[in-house]
Structure 1
Amino acid sequence: MLQPGAIDTTATKIICLTQVVTKDELKDDENYEDILEDIKAECVKFGSLVNVVIPRPNRDGEPTPPGVGKVFLEYMDTENATKARAELNGRKFGGNQVVAIFYPENKFNHGEYDE
C-alpha cells in the first residue's frame, strides 16, 4: 500500500510528463497543435506510441480541469513506456526539466488526470 503522497513506480503503459507545458501555452489552438506534434515526433522514437493526451484549460473562465499542464503518453506495452520514461525523465524541454512518471492505466482509461 502506498503512503499518501508517495509515487507508485510500478511500470505501466502510461507515462505522465510534468514541467513540459503551461496552461497559457495550451490556450491557443495553433500553439497546442504545434506542442502536440512536437511531443508525438519526439516520443515515438522510444517505442510504439498509441496515444498522446494533453488536457487543455477551459476557454470560458470555468475552473481548470484536472491534468492541465501534464502530458500523458500511452505506449503499446510497458517495455516501450519504461524506455520512454528513462529517456524523458530529467530532459530539458522549453527550459524546464521534465519529470516522467508511470501513471495508473485504469485512471488514464477513465480520463482521470488528477493524480
Structure 2
Amino acid sequence: MRAGHERGAFGLRPEEGNTGQDTDVVKVPLRQLLAHARPQAPALVVASLLSCVAAAVVLVQPLVVKKVFTDLSDSRPVTATVLVIVGLFLAEALLGSVHTAYCSTAWTPGRSTR
C-alpha cells in the first residue's frame, strides 16, 4: 500500500490525522458493523436470554426473603420458603456460571458459532 493509505479497523481508511494503528477510532457505518456481528447472532441471543433470566432470578430473591420475615412474624412455617431461597441462589450461581462459560467460548477468536 502506498504511504498515507493505511487501512484501519474493518479494512477502512482511517480519518485524516489517524495513524492506522489498532488503537485509532474509525467511524464505521452501522450496516457494516452489523454485517460483522451477524455470524455471532446466535451467541448474542443466547447470552442476552441468559442475562435476562439471571436478572429475573436476582430480582425475585428479595421478595422471597420478605415472605420469610412475614411468615416468621406470623408464626407460620418457613421451611418451604427457605428452600425456595436456596433454589434461587443455586439457580443464580448456575446461570452465572453457564453465562460466563458460554460467553467465554462463544466469542473465542477464530471459532465459528455454526
TM-score, scaled relative to structure 2: 0.26
- Which structure would you say has the larger Rg? 2
Q: Greater strand share, 1 or 2?
A: 1
More helix by share: 2
Q: Which structure is higher in RCO with an 8 Å CA cutoff and minimum separation 6?
A: 1
TM-score (norm 1): 0.26
